[in-house]
């Protein structure tokens, strides 16, 4: 497919030919079997949910082709995912007026935070397939969030919870010096810039 990659590559990034699995924060991969996996969506919402794998797979699913920018410098352009749009999820759980932030929670203890206003205005989804296959453990399977308009540390692997929160809660890397906003086009890599 012909494309002008330059216009898709944020400053300071280089194009990688494929996704690179970054080791999880704890060092070891959580064992998450689909049969036991659940996604809890809770907090400031009218209809909290705890979906099983089968239930979650019955929600409307879509294909996504997105660019994925890792803060360490590589970008995978045009990466295919298949999954459930956050807008579909929010249409069911219905965040209340008290909800200001979305906190993504992972089985390895990882968390990341994004303002709800931005989630409403940008693409964000829960991926269940990558390149038409189940998401491999090293890439965060069985389900991961993907928020392509921000650096990849805002995309939680091994996703098990989505909390709608009144207050901001710094995530794992956000609390350790990474930029709380993480816009790759503004090179918001570290807090303080």
Ligand X SMILES: Nc1nc2c(c(=O)[nH]1)N[C@H]1C(S)=C(S)[C@@H](COP(=O)(O)O)O[C@H]1N2
- Among 110, 153, 158, 178, indicate the residue that binds Mo ion (CB under 5 A): 153
Residue 61 or 106: the one with the smaller Cβ distance to ligand X is 106
Q: Which stretch binds Mo ion (CB under 5 A): 69-77, 129-137, 156-164, 181-189?
A: 69-77
User: Phi and psi of 90, rounded to 5°?
Assistant: -70, -30
Q: Which stretch binds ligand X (CB under 6 A): 10-18, 19-27, 119-127, 180-188?
A: 19-27
Q: Which stretch binds Mo ion (CB under 5 A): 9-17, 51-59, 117-125, 149-157?
A: 149-157
- Among 106, 113, 160, 165, indicate the residue that binds ligand X (CB under 6 A): 106
Q: 9 touches which of ligand X, Mo ion, none (CB within 5 to 8 A by kind)?
A: none
Which residues here bind ligand X, judged by CB under 6 A?
19-22, 24-25, 70, 106, 108, 110, 139-140, 152-153, 155-158, 173
């Amino acid at each position: 497919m012909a494309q002008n990659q330059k216009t898709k590559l944020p400053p300071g990034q280089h194009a990688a030919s494929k996704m690179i699995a970054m080791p999880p924060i704890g060092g070891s991969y959580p064992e998450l079997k689909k049969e036991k996996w659940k996604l809890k969506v809770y907090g400031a919402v009218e209809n909290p949910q705890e979906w099983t794998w089968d239930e979650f797979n019955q929600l409307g699913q879509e294909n996504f082709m997105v660019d994925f920018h890792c803060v360490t410098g590589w970008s995978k352009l045009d990466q295919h995912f298949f999954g459930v749009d956050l807008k579909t999820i929010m249409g069911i759980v219905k965040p209340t007026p008290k909800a200001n932030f979305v906190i993504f929670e992972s089985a390895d203890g990882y968390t990341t935070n994004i303002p709800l206003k931005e989630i409403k205005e940008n693409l964000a989804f829960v991926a269940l397939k990558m390149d038409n296959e189940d998401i491999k453990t090293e890439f965060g399977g069985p389900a991961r969030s993907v928020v392509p308009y921000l650096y990849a540390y805002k995309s939680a692997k091994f996703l098990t919870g989505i909390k709608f929160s009144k207050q901001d809660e710094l995530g794992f890397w956000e609390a350790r010096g990474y930029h709380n906003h993480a816009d790759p086009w503004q090179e918001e890599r570290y807090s303080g810039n």
